[in-house]
Amino acid sequence: MTSIVTRHLIGGTAQAIAETAVAIQSGHLVVFPTDTVYGVGCNPFDEQAVARLFAVKGRPLHKGIPILLADITDLNKVAQSIPPLAQQLIDRFWPGPLTVIVPKRPELPEAISDNEGIAVRIPDNLVARAVIRAAGGAVAATSANQTGEPAAQTGQQALNALDGKVSIVLDGGPTDQSMASTVVDCMHEPFRILRSGPIVEADITLAQRHKK
């Protein structure tokens, strides 16, 4: 893979956010902070960009790429429908470190997920949401590291891992969490936790009960 010059932008200024969003819209890969760990992302509707994201991460093709959203109104851009359980968890935990798997829209590139579901969430980070909003409301993103390596919690760690492989590292300082989001499969009942994270099973079960 050809090396590129990676720009390290410090701080979530309006200009830095705008430049990062333009890079996403132009088909480039970028790094930005979230409320959990730093993410590396691209335009989820750009098939070539999604393919580069897999290659840069060294991510197995059977592991789909989650999509981060700016606002709840962006959900219908990537989700075909919202199961009742997913809606309960969205109402309780978004924005925040909970990813839900819901039926995906057919317009998304096939490579982004090898099944009928798509993982989505809204991060509780103003810089991340500003970037995503400026880029169109949805960004395919996964942790900013090589597969198998520790997730980056600072912009410098992300730069060390992906320098020469992404166009921009937007450095917003240390992240609030040290672990990636909890992932819950809401395509079937009962729900399945596919990845443990800051929101635990008891929290999910309680949220579900309160809505019944």
Whole-prediction pTM:
0.95
Per-residue pLDDT at 176: 84
Confidence of residue 212 (pLDDT cuts 50, 70, 90): low
Per-residue pLDDT at 153: 96
Structural domains for the chain: 7-210 (3.90.870.10)
Name every residue whose Cβ is closer than 8 Å to that of residue 114 and which is 6 or more positions away in sequence.
61, 62, 64
Q: pLDDT at residue 210 above 90? A: no
Q: pLDDT at residue 66 above 90? A: yes
100-149: pLDDT as tens digits: 999 999 999 999 998 999 999 999 999 999 999 999 999 999 999 999 99
Per-residue pLDDT at 1: 60
56 in Cβ contact with 40 (< 8 Å): yes
pLDDT above 90 coverage of the chain, percent: 90
Give dist(CA 83, CA 121) in Å, integer: 14
Q: pLDDT at residue 188 above 90? A: no
Confidence of residue 207 (pLDDT cuts 50, 70, 90): confident
Per-residue pLDDT at 46: 97
5-29: pLDDT as tens digits: 999 999 989 999 999 999 999 999 9
